[in-house]
Amino acid sequence: MPSTVVDKIEYDVEHQVLTVVFQSGKVYYYKEVPHGVYISLRAARSKGRYLNKNIKGVYEYESSDL
């Protein structure tokens, strides 16, 4: 999953929480994200572009640092 912005992506199916770890070390936990959105993010050529267009500003989130 090479990306200049995203280091790691994880998804909790039971709770529908998408975890995105950025190269900067910042971690975002996006809530109530449908599984299909996670699958599309994984398949996206540009993870950062997909996040900006389809996830940021759409789903509630919490953030923290590693």
User: Is 0.85 surpassed by the pTM of this model?
Assistant: yes
DSSP 3-15: -SSEEEEEEETTT
**How many CB atoms within 10 Å of residue 31?**
12
Q: Does residue 45 carry a pLDDT above 70?
A: yes
Distance of alpha carbon 37 from alpha carbon 49, whole angstroms:
13
Rounded to 5 degrees, φ, ψ at 2 are: -65, 130
Q: pLDDT tens digits, residue range 4-25?
A: 889 999 999 999 999 999 999 9
